[in-house]
Amino acid sequence: MTAILGWLSILRGHKPVRDVPSTLAIIERNAKMQAQLIDDLLDMNRLASGTMQLELAAVDLALTLRSARQALQPAADAKRVRLVEGIDPRATPVRGDARRLQQVVWNLVQNALKFTPAGGQVELRLEREAHETLVTVSDTGRGIAPAFLPHVFERFRQQDSSTAREAGGIGLGLSIAKHLVELHGGTIAAFSDGEGKGARFVVRLPAADPAPYPRANAVDQPGPTVLSA
C-alpha cells in the first residue's frame, strides 16, 4: 500500500514522470498483491472459523493442471524456469470445488516458481492410484531445511522472510492449501532433501466414485440386469 501511495503521489507531482507505463505497471502489480493478500486473509478466516463453503462437482484435475501451467508459463519464462507437466490419462475426475482446487494447485506452482532460480525446473504431475488421485508439484529450487520442513504448513511461517518478502507473500498460501485439501477429505505433504535440493509437494485426494450405476436397493429403480449365457 505504501508503494502504491508513493508512486501515485509521484504521478500527481509537478515533475514529469519519465516512464508513465512502467509506473502504472508497478502500481497495478502492488494493487494486485494487496487484493491477493486480502483474499488470503478472508479465506484464512473462513477456514479457521469453519464457514468455508465448498461448491462440490466433478472436477477434472487434468484441466486444472493444464490451465495452471498455461497461466503461469509467462512467469516461468520470465524467470527462465522450465515448466513441465505429466498427466496420467487414467486420472478420473474428483469430487470437489473446482475453484478451490485450482487455488491449491496455483499456490503450489507459484511457490515452486518463486523458490526456483533461473535454469531450474518445475514439474506438475497428475497420477491415479487405486483409491486416490495424486497431484505432485516438484521443483529443483532452493529446497527446505529439515528443521523448517515440519512447519511449512503453519500460517505466517516462512523459511527466510527476507527472500519471501522480496518475492511477495506473507506465509499464508500453504496453510490455506492444507485446510482446503483437508476439507476435500485429502492430505498434503511436503518433501525436500534439504537446502538447495529442491522441494516436492504431494496432494492426495480420494478418487471419486465410479459413474453412478442405478442402485440395486433403490425403491423405484430396477436392479442391474443380469445377462445369463
> Site residues (CB under 6 A) for ligand ATP?
40, 107, 111-112, 115, 139, 141-144, 152, 157-159, 164, 168-175, 199
Which of 173, 186, 198, 207 is in the footprint of Mg ion by CB under 5 A? 173
- Where are the alpha helices (H) located in 1-116, listed in sequence order? 2-12, 20-49, 61-79, 98-114
Looking at beta carbons only, is 171 or 207 nearer to ligand ATP?
A: 171
- Where are the alpha helices (H) located in 80-160, listed in sequence order? 98-114
* Strands laid side by side in the 187-191 sheet: 82-87, 121-128, 132-139, 199-206, 187-191
Task: Tell me which of Mg ion, ligand ATP, none is bound by residue 120, counting a contact when its beta carbon lies within the kind-specific cut-off of 5 to 8 angstroms.
Answer: none
Provide the minimum distance between the beta carbon of 58 and ligand ATP in the complex, in angstroms, as a whole number.
28
Provide the minimum distance between the beta carbon of 165 and ligand ATP in the complex, in angstroms, as a whole number.
8
**Is 111 a binder of Mg ion (CB under 5 A)?**
yes
Provide the minimum distance between the beta carbon of 126 and ligand ATP in the complex, in angstroms, as a whole number.
18
Task: Tell me which of Mg ion, ligand ATP, none is bound by residue 207, counting a contact when its beta carbon lies within the kind-specific cut-off of 5 to 8 angstroms.
Answer: none
The x, y and z cell numbers of residue 179, run together, are: 485446510
One-letter identity of residue 127: E
Contact call for residues 168 and 148 (beta carbons, < 8 A): no
Contact call for residues 201 and 190 (beta carbons, < 8 A): yes
Looking at beta carbons only, is 156 or 213 nearer to ligand ATP?
A: 156
Q: Whole-angstrom Cα distance, residue 138 to residue 77?
A: 17
Looking at beta carbons only, is 108 or 207 nearer to ligand ATP?
A: 108
**Span of 1-9, 16-24, 125-133, 166-174 interacting with Mg ion by CB under 5 A:** 166-174
Residues in the chain: 229
Contact call for residues 108 and 177 (beta carbons, < 8 A): yes
Looking at beta carbons only, is 4 or 170 nearer to Mg ion?
A: 170
Looking at beta carbons only, is 120 or 169 nearer to Mg ion?
A: 169
* DSSP secondary structure letter of residue 101: H
- Give me the residues that bind Mg ion (CB under 5 A), please: 111, 169, 173
